[in-house]
Structure 1
Amino acid sequence: MSSPIPQPQQFLSDAPLGTRVVVRYRIDGGLTDALGELVARTARECTVRTRRSDVVIGLGLVVAAKAVPPAPPRRPRGHALP
Structure 2
Amino acid sequence: MHLRGQLVHRIVPEDLGRRVSVRITLPEGGFTDIVGVVESWAENVLTLRRRDDSTVEVAESDIVASRVVPPVPPRRRGGRPPEAP
TM-score (norm 2): 0.69
Q: Which residue of 2 aligns with 1:30?
A: 30
Q: Distance in 2 between matches of 1:36 and 1:75?
A: 21
Cα shift at 1:75: 4.3
Map 1:9-28 to 2 at 5 A.
11-15=11-15, 17-27=16-26, 28=28
Question: SS at the partner of 1:73?
Answer: coil
- Structure 1 unmatched ranges of 5 or more: 1-6
Cα shift at 1:60: 0.5
Letter in 2 for 1:71: V
Return structure 1 stretches of 4+ with deviation > 6 angstroms: none
Q: Distance in 1 between matches of 2:32 and 2:19?
A: 17
Query: Deviations for 1:12-44, whole angstroms, at most 9, x for unmatched residues?
Result: 3232x2111111111133111111110011132
Q: Distance in 2 between matches of 1:14 and 1:70?
A: 17
Letter in 2 for 1:18: G
Q: Percent identity at matched positions?
A: 34
Letter in 2 for 1:30: G
TM-score (norm 1): 0.71
Map 1:46-61 to 2 at 5 A.
46-52=46-52, 53-61=54-62
- Structure 2 unmatched ranges of 5 or more: 1-7
